[in-house]
Every structure is written in structure tokens, then in C-alpha cells.
Amino acid sequence: MTRNVTIVVIILVLVVIAGYLVWLRGRFQPPVSPQVNQEVEVTPTPTAMGVIEASPSATATSSARESTPSSRRR
């Protein structure tokens, strides 16, 4: 019986010490300040209306391939 009481007392002492350490850490830890998100306005860069940029894949389309004489021979 006394051995069971000793084990319970040791467990309670450990729980109290752990709770005290958690409380102590929260007391001395600097408070976390909320971060303010700065709004960044993204504006598109101006481009000329008549300029069309073509990629290499845009030059070879299926409709252009069908109109060539070499594709008609198949």
C-alpha cells in the first residue's frame, strides 16, 4: 500500500513540476506580434497593341500543315 502511495506522489510531483515549467516558459517568452501583410498592387506592364509575340510552337499549326502540298501527297 505504501509503495502505491509513493508512486502516485512521485507522479503528481512530476506533473506539478512540468506544469510549472510550462507556465514559466509562457511568462518569459516574448509575445508573438501579429505580422501585418503589406498589400502589393501588381500592375501589368504596358505593351503595344499591334505587337504580337509568337512562340515557335505557334508557327506550326495543324491547319498550316494540311494546306502544304507535301501533306496532300500522302
4-63, pLDDT tens digit by residue?
999 999 999 999 999 999 999 888 866 667 777 777 777 877 766 665 666 666 555 555
Dmax over CA atoms of the chain, in Å, equals: 103
What pLDDT digit, counting tens, does each position of 46-56 carry?
Answer: 766 665 666 66
Q: Which three cell numbers stand for residue 69?
A: 502540298
Domain layout of the chain by residue ranges? 1-30
For 71, residues 6+ apart whose C-beta sits below 8 A from its C-beta are: 65
B/e letters for 51-67, b = 16+ CB within 10 Å, e = fewer, are eeeeeeeeeeeeeeeee
Lookup result for grid cell 501585418: 36
Amino acid identity, position 25:
R
